[in-house]
Amino acid sequence: MLKPKQLRQALTNSLPLLQNNPDNLHLFIDHGRIVSTLAPSLSFEYQYQLNVVITDYAGDADLIMVPVLAWLRENQPDIMATEHKRQTGFTFKVDVLSDTLSDISIDLQLTERVIVKEDNGVLHVDHVPEPTMPGDITRPWALYLHSELVSRWHE
């Protein structure tokens, strides 16, 4: 599975807290399943819930949610495509620990397609990227909150 590592990198790039304290970010894969058919190939799809937990967070929640939304737009755009997926695909909880600190838990319903091809008795496995979205989607490189620069990154 590739998406958890990709999201970890995107959040670390955009959140100064995680650049200085990478141990404050925890990722868990829950409710995972493999979806496959009796088609001639062994191709399949990972379907799972990714639980993203950021501990001891003292900033504005927008600084987490906006980079996650930007990442989803490119890596799991179907979450925004239907009313049902908008209601269930990206949920969160916050544990308020004190006046200044919180633990934020985000649940994302993710999928990853894997193509398995046989060539002369050898299996080749490739992860397939998400289909491109219609129209131009820009890739952000900085984040402002209340007109103040909070983070800048380049991929």
pLDDT by residue for the chain (155 residues), tens only, comes to: 999 999 999 999 999 999 999 999 999 999 999 999 999 899 999 999 999 999 999 989 999 999 999 999 999 999 988 888 999 999 999 999 898 899 999 999 999 999 999 999 999 999 998 877 666 667 778 888 888 888 887 65
Enter the pTM of the model.
Answer: 0.83
pLDDT of residue 135: 65
pLDDT of residue 136: 64
Query: Can you say how many angstroms the Cα of residue 133 is from the centroid of all Cα atoms in its chain?
Result: 17
Picking from 50, 38, 28, the residue whose alpha carbon sits closest to that of residue 111 is 50
pLDDT of residue 155: 55
Parse the chain into domains and list their residue ranges. Answer: 3-150
pLDDT of residue 117: 94
Q: What is the rounded distance in angstroms from the CA atom of residue 8 to the CA atom of residue 12? A: 6
Q: What angle do CA 29, 30, 36 make, to 5 degrees?
A: 90
pLDDT of residue 9: 96
